[in-house]
């Protein structure tokens, strides 16, 4: 899962999981919500430093999910033991 480290924890982006569950590609999502594939890819890989509410709303509307389904927070060290 892509992630971005912040003080005290990590923001995790679960876009891959949502797309897989809906049998949709990143390209299809980009076309449906009117966002460039490059910008959506930056979000998917966890390299985005911010996301507009309008973008978040469009993604959630198209994927029929809540913001918490797309984004998560893991405290520092929470996933360290599962990575090998």
CATH number for 22? 1.10.260.40
Per the document, the length of the chain is 84
- Asked if 38 and 45 count as a contact pair (C-beta separation under 8 A), the reply is no
**Alpha-carbon span 68 to 13, nearest angstrom:** 10
More confident site: 83 or 16: 16
What domain count does the chain have? Answer: 1
As a whole number, mean pLDDT of residues 13-23 equals 97
Q: What are phi and psi of 11, to 5 degrees?
A: -90, 125
Domain span at 54: 3-77
- Please tell me the pTM assigned to this model: 0.80
Q: Is the pLDDT of residue 58 over 70?
A: yes
CB-side neighbour CA atoms (13 Å) of 1: 21
Q: Which residues, 6 or more positions from 60, have their beta carbon under 8 angstroms from its beta carbon? A: 66, 67, 69, 70
């Amino acid at each position: 899962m892509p992630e971005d480290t912040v003080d005290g924890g990590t923001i995790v982006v679960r876009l891959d999981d949502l797309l897989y569950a809906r049998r949709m590609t990143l390209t299809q999502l980009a076309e449906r919500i009117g966002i460039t594939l490059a910008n959506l890819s930056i979000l998917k890989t966890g390299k985005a430093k911010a996301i507009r509410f309008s973008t978040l709303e469009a993604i959630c509307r198209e994927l029929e999910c809540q913001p918490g389904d797309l984004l998560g927070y893991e405290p520092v060290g929470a996933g360290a033991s599962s990575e090998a």
